[in-house]
Structure 1
Amino acid sequence: MPKAHQSDREPELSTVWLRAFLEVARHGSFTVAARGLGWTQSAVSRQVAALEAALGGGPLFDRLPRGVRLTEAGRVLVPYAETVTEALHGAGRELAALREVAGGRLRFGAFPTADAALVPHALAAFRARHPRVRLSREEGLTPRLLERLAAGHLDLAVVSTTPGAPLESYDLHHLLDESLYVAVPASHPLARSGPVRLGRLADADWISGSPRPEGTLLDAAVRQGFRPRVAHVVGEWTAKQGYVAAGLGVALVPALAAESVRPDVVLLPVLDEGAPARAVYAATARGRTPAPAAEAFVAALREAAGKIPAQ
């Protein structure tokens, strides 16, 4: 391929040259332009001369006895120079807004029980501090949220230590360690007994979101030496409470959902040694620089996590 001649190449223009050129064009004077820029007159002259050389050597200004006047080439260049400098100023404003969390966007997801108290409290605080950030939210289980995060569809995901979830592949920001409760109907014999060990409920019917305990909160019972008998598979937490209140079984409840318990259901803290708990994290994609809005939201999540009642 033949080597391009100098005249065939697009000139590489410095924004400093364009700035000096526009200031001289605006004032019709190198002296006044230099004063406005805080430069010396010779510095302004050098920048304009460099711009003229890059564009082929033709003059952009006619020198007059007092001041200067744009040549035809200079008049052609003005709107292009204005477009370039305004675009750069606009980019600078947007980048400053991102740094100050005064603009931009935040796409986040959370698993369902995090939406009971943790996420709403954090979201309210974040909106009060950063009202101009555009927010979008998704709800899903931890494995699905991590897939969305890895694919670049989310900036941040509130996730838990769900068995099988590849948390080690992400940057994790610890929010809290959840204790678990057993939900029993108010008429249950253990309702007034206080904290219990899971083994005392080994013969109970259980209500769970899955027929198998593996990969659910009930996996904790398996680790404690018994396999819970899942009598009813119910996915939504409000519906689970209804089944418990009706005396159809008992259920494990994470601390994040404890605030929304209905009055005819009693929550008993679990006492088993090495009490079953799960960790909750704000996850971001490893190797991807988080946006300032994501960092600010993590801070709001940590504040909200500090208000979650301990067992």
Structure 2
Amino acid sequence: MLDANDLRLFHEVAREGSFTGAAELLGYTQSAVSRRIAALERQAGGPLFVRLARGVRLTPAGAALRRHAEAVLDRLGKAEEELAAIHRGGGGTLRIGAFATANVWLVPQALKMFTARWPEVELRLVEGLSGRLLDRLEAGALDVAVVSDYPAGLPAEAETVPLLEERLLVALPLGHRLADREVIDLRDLAEETWIEAAPPGQTTILQAACARAGFTPRGGLRVAEWTGKFGYVAAGLGVTLVPELAARAVPDGLVLRPISEEGPRRKVYAALPEVPLPSALAFVELLGQ
């Protein structure tokens, strides 16, 4: 196992280009630096430096280790800063993942309140599909994820906090035969072509709702992004579902109509790691307001 202190010493030798320069900078003797670098080279399986008459030069193995050492030391430095900030009661970094339509209104409004209360926290935002966000959360790459069960549900083992349940509206092109209705019966859409991002081999919320209404939805083009779906609907190539959260982002050229009681709905959740950051808990609380 490579030791972080040895990596720091190695990095300084590489930057200074000499054992003596690194020793003076770090307060060691030149012989102590030489011994520790020799021990590190034994761990690494070969020379990391070429010893020259004046100074040292990295070997190919040393250049490779330097790249990794810089990344490791950078992460350790950020971890130390974040831990110190947490113990002070503020600061640090909050890495947030959210699905696309949550970024229309839900997440921005919560972040507006969050930044007013936690101004020292650095925010990083990742947008993606709910399943991928949960994978990143599990891998430790996110501190909180805003996810939904649309289009095909969430993994049963996902640890989540319920935030809201919303209707899924139907988006129609202008001039559609049903565009003048205030509410649309799902069965009246039985002959429509649907623009949907349906995961292969999975039953979607739309398919389940249509099955309860007594028909199978006619599949059309598969489009993952909401902005793309809007374009295809506006062109008259099909209809699609739009969450209420995204209603304000629908462009001109489309009509949104609620579906009667048997229509599909989706649930929105916040997912947290087993030991969440205080800032993540505060953000989730604001999401629920």
TM-score bucket (shorter structure): 0.5 to 0.7
* Residue matched to 2:197: 209
Aligned-residue offset at 1:182: 0.6
- Give the Cα separation in 1 of the matches to 2:89 and 2:117: 9
Identify unmatched segments of 5+ residues in structure 2.
Answer: 1-80
The amino acid that maps onto 1:290 is P
- Give the Cα separation in 2 of the matches to 1:265 and 1:236: 16
Aligned-residue offset at 1:250: 0.8
* Residue matched to 1:108: 96
Query: SS at the partner of 1:218?
Result: helix
Distance change (3 Å), C-alpha of 1:95 and 1:233: closer
- Give the Cα separation in 2 of the matches to 1:218 and 1:250: 12
* 2:252 counterpart of 1:263: yes
Q: Deviations for 1:230-276, whole angstroms, at most 9, x for unmatched residues?
A: 22222221121121112111111111111111122111101133x32
* Residue matched to 1:87: none
Q: Deviations for 1:139-162, whole angstroms, at most 9, x for unmatched residues?
A: 111111111111221111101124
- Does the aligned pair in 1 maintain the 2:197–2:222 contact within 8 Å? yes
- Give the Cα separation in 2 of the matches to 1:247 and 1:217: 23
* Count of residue pairs brought into register by the alignment: 209
- Does the aligned pair in 1 maintain the 2:206–2:264 contact within 8 Å? no
- Aligned to 1:298, which of 264, 284, 288? 284
Note the aligned Cα RMSD (angstroms).
2.6
- Does the aligned pair in 2 maintain the 1:217–1:252 contact within 8 Å? no
* 2:270 counterpart of 1:282: yes
- Aligned to 2:235, which of 227, 246, 271? 246
* Residue matched to 1:57: none
- Does the aligned pair in 1 maintain the 2:82–2:93 contact within 8 Å? no
- Give the Cα separation in 1 of the matches to 2:180 and 2:87: 53
Query: SS at the partner of 1:148?
Result: helix
* 2:183 counterpart of 1:195: yes
* Residue matched to 1:235: 224
Aligned-residue offset at 1:277: 0.9
Distance change (3 Å), C-alpha of 1:209 and 1:129: same
Query: SS at the partner of 1:280?
Result: strand
* Residue matched to 1:225: 214
Q: Deviations for 1:11-57, whole angstroms, at most 9, x for unmatched residues?
A: xxxxxxxxxxxxxxxxxxxxxxxxxxxxxxxxxxxxxxxxxxxxxxx
- Aligned to 1:178, which of 166, 173, 176? 166
- TM-score (normalised: structure 1): 0.61
- Give the Cα separation in 2 of the matches to 1:251 and 1:159: 20
* Residue matched to 2:127: 139
Distance change (3 Å), C-alpha of 1:157 and 1:102: same
Q: Deviations for 1:257-309, whole angstroms, at most 9, x for unmatched residues?
A: 11111122111101133x32111011112xx2211100111122122xxxxxx
The amino acid that maps onto 1:201 is L
The amino acid that maps onto 1:277 is R
- Does the aligned pair in 2 maintain the 1:149–1:155 contact within 8 Å? yes
The amino acid that maps onto 1:296 is A
- Aligned to 1:154, which of 122, 135, 142? 142
Query: SS at the partner of 2:97?
Result: strand
The percent identity for this pair of structures is 51
- TM-score (normalised: structure 2): 0.65
Query: SS at the partner of 2:261?
Result: coil
Question: Greater Rg, structure 1 or structure 2?
Answer: 1
